[in-house]
Structure 1
């Protein structure tokens, strides 16, 4: 049913005549009568009955008018709650990868618990492909995802990606004391580890794409033998001599691991907050995106 018809019914219950409703609504009695008739058809029951030369509400009409007051108040509250200028309020569902959650999202959630206690955040840990699938299913409101400059994410017109932070990555190798292995360009470094086993992510293919792209520029196919989602586990595998793999340059190398910077070309991870088109005006989502950007060094 249309809420404008409910509004007409409420006014009829309050004022008692179609003429009075027409006067306050700046319309005609014919229009008022049409709106009530249409609402009767929607409900499948008579809402008015003759009373001399006028009409009055039937018992069903009076009952619906009581419901209409509550319904219209709820609709008005929803408009106020969802308008861009409203105070953020509601449950915000976020899916993202562990590093982003731990290093960026959790501090923002702690801040909002104080500054905006009516915003409740539900967090699910997922790699980008998984988080974006949840977003497509409308099972989450915001996806924290990433790609690499050498493995850019495909364009998707149904979502809007907001850039967050970037991070340079290097190659994690066993610390065998060979300082010369860290010299040269990215391609020089990759060439030195051509015969090694390679470790890639078990739940996301982006870093494997980067490795295969750089290896192809050198002229070899990397032997991918191990897959792990946790960066701590990747370091453990490297220290155990199981292979080499990409790691963030700002990470603290574990004992037995050496981190070699990659230059010319650089390897850069690009974090982004992804939401469905048209959703970023929702106050809780807009607030979270703004705070994440500010924490990343962006200023609105």
Structure 2
């Protein structure tokens, strides 16, 4: 249905005169008549009827004019919403893992409350595979995910990723401990993530390079619970370096190869241009924990 013709019909319902509509919209009276006739052909019913030397809307014409108010208002709202120069406004749904929510999303929300109060961020905690599945179903607008240099993520071609920050990971063992060859830990029980495969893939790659197959005994999401199991002697695992750990845990550096977590904000291709998503991505990229 042609929006320009709807506008002409709406003005006719308001002004009751084709000549006045023509003056209002800078058209000729003949052009107004042609627009109304074409719209009647589109909808398959008469929209005007003679009323002396003038015309008036038929009942169908009045009903369509009522719809036109809502339709044209919605189109105008959509144009304002999508205008890159307009003030961003709308709800942005974000799914992400806990560390990225704490480090990137929460500070971004605080900033947006001041800079762009019309942006309403709604967050849910999910591991990367879960978040990407939600994004693929269009249940969220942004997914905060991670991969590793030893276990790169393969994104669908309709998704696009914006790098945010990186974090070095190490080998978490009971303290006191000193650095030893990775093969030294072949007989230990291992702890991996239960809802994402990248952590276990990294472990199996490192173990394969050291000549053994790791014995995975526990699958735990919470980093704090991983530390509890290490202290209790129930296994060892991989943890991020540079964060405070509980007493009794030491995170040893891994080199040759190093293990680097890489964090991304992922959107459906093109969605990153929607103003509310665009400003959120810009704020997420300002990592508050990055070195000055």
Give TM-score, length-normalised by structure 1.
Answer: 0.87
State how 1:123-202 maps to structure 2 within 5 Å.
123-175=123-175, 177-179=176-178, 182-183=179-180, 188=181, 190-202=182-194
Which runs of 5 or more residues in structure 1 are unaligned? Answer: none
- Secondary structure (helix, strand or coil) at the match of 2:114 reads helix
Aligned equivalents of 1:86 and 1:145: distance in 2? 29
Equivalence for 2:246: 254
Cα separation, partners in 2 of 1:170 and 1:264, compared to 1, 3 Å = same
Contact 1:172 1:258 in 2 (8 A): yes
Contact 1:163 1:273 in 2 (8 A): yes
Contact 2:220 2:226 in 1 (8 A): yes
Equivalence for 1:268: 260
Q: How many residues align?
A: 289
Aligned equivalents of 1:7 and 1:132: distance in 2? 42
Contact 1:12 1:18 in 2 (8 A): no
Task: Establish whether residue 86 from structure 1 lines up as the match of residue 78 from structure 2.
Answer: no
Shift of 1:258: 1.3
Aligned equivalents of 1:253 and 1:293: distance in 2? 26
Aligned equivalents of 2:24 and 2:122: distance in 1? 50
Shift of 1:67: 3.9
Which runs of 5 or more residues in structure 2 are unaligned? Answer: none
Residue of structure 1 aligned with 2:213, choices 218, 221, 241: 221
Cα separation, partners in 2 of 1:28 and 1:265, compared to 1, 3 Å = farther
Aligned equivalents of 1:77 and 1:199: distance in 2? 51
- Secondary structure (helix, strand or coil) at the match of 2:212 reads coil
The 10-residue stretch of structure 1 (71-80 or 215-224) with the greater mean CA deviation from structure 2 = 71-80
Equivalence for 2:112: 112
Shift of 1:43: 4.5
Shift of 1:219: 1.3
Aligned equivalents of 2:289 and 2:174: distance in 1? 33
Deviations 1:139-197 (A, max 9, x none): 1111000000000001321111000010000000111x342xx15xxxx2x21101111
Shift of 1:263: 1.1
Aligned equivalents of 1:90 and 1:149: distance in 2? 35
Aligned equivalents of 1:293 and 1:202: distance in 2? 28
Contact 2:7 2:72 in 1 (8 A): yes
Aligned equivalents of 1:178 and 1:146: distance in 2? 29
Aligned equivalents of 2:24 and 2:85: distance in 1? 33
Residue of structure 2 aligned with 1:236, choices 221, 228, 243: 228
Contact 1:198 1:223 in 2 (8 A): yes
Deviations 1:90-116 (A, max 9, x none): 111100001111222112112222332
Shift of 1:281: 1.1
State how 1:63-82 maps to structure 2 within 5 Å.
63-82=63-82
Aligned equivalents of 2:155 and 2:66: distance in 1? 50
Shift of 1:39: 3.2
- Secondary structure (helix, strand or coil) at the match of 2:272 reads coil
Aligned equivalents of 1:220 and 1:7: distance in 2? 73
Equivalence for 2:48: 48
- Secondary structure (helix, strand or coil) at the match of 1:195 reads coil
- Secondary structure (helix, strand or coil) at the match of 1:153 reads coil
Aligned equivalents of 1:136 and 1:244: distance in 2? 34
Equivalence for 1:287: 279
Equivalence for 1:5: 5
Deviations 1:61-118 (A, max 9, x none): 2343244234313321221122111111111110000111122211211222233222
